[in-house]
Amino acid sequence: MKAIVTVVGKDRVGIIAGVCTALANFNVNVLDISQTVMQGYFTMMMATEVSQCTIPLGELVTKMDEMGKEMGLSIRVQREDIFEAMHRI
């Protein structure tokens, strides 16, 4: 099962490192990353494989959200299906 992780917030040192380390700790494999700075905001999107994740997806959503709040970022984890359904026929 794949999930999309989106990170939005004010740019600073260590965002990618922090997010990737957290994901690695839960055994989530990062498949692809793209990032950009839009209107002064750091925006990163990651495609991840969460099948081997050590905690249920719902819990990962909460953990990453909490971590985001600590770092002053918005971190969202969502199943990839929702984006596929909306934008692909």
Partner 1 sequence: MLNQKDILATLDMIHKQHLDIRTITMGISLLDCCDENLDACCAKIYRKITTRAKDLVKTGEEIEKEFGIPIVNKRISVTPISLVAAACKADSYVEIARTLDAAAKTCGVNFIGGFSALVQKGCTDSDWKLIRSIPQAMAATERVCASVNVGSTKAGINMDAVAEMGRILKQTAALTAHDDGLGCAKVVVFANAVEDNPFMAGAFHGVGEPECVLNVGVSGPGVVYHALQGVKGQPFDLVAETIKKTAFQVTRMGQLVGMEASRRLGVPFGIVDLSLAPTPAVGDSVARILEEMGLEVCGTHGTTAALALLNDAVKKGGVMASNHVGGLSGAFIPVSEDEGMIAAAESGVLCLDKLEAMTCVCSVGLDMIAVPGDTSAATISAIIADEAAIGMVNSKTTAVRIIPAPGKQVGDRVEMGGLLGSAPVMPVHQSASADFIARGGRIPAPLQSLKN
Coil, strand or helix at 46: strand
Q: What is the 3-state secondary structure (H, E, C) of 19-38?
A: HHHHHHHCCCEEEEEEEEEE
The CB-of-77 to partner 1 minimum distance in angstroms stands at: 7
What is the x/- site pattern for partner 1, positions 2-31, by CB under 8 A?
Answer: --x-x------------------------x
Q: Which residues have C-beta within 8 Å of that of residue 12, sequence separation ≥ 6? A: 42, 72
Stretch that binds partner 1, among 13-21, 22-30, 55-63 (CB under 8 A): 55-63
C-alpha distance from residue 30 to each of 26, 38, 86, 89 (Å): 11, 22, 23, 25
* Contact call for residue 39 and partner 1 (CB under 8 A): no
Of positions 34, 39, 40, 70, contacts partner 1 by CB under 8 A: 34
Q: Which residues bind partner 1 (CB under 8 A)?
A: 4, 6, 31-32, 34, 36, 43, 45, 47, 57-58, 61-62, 76-87
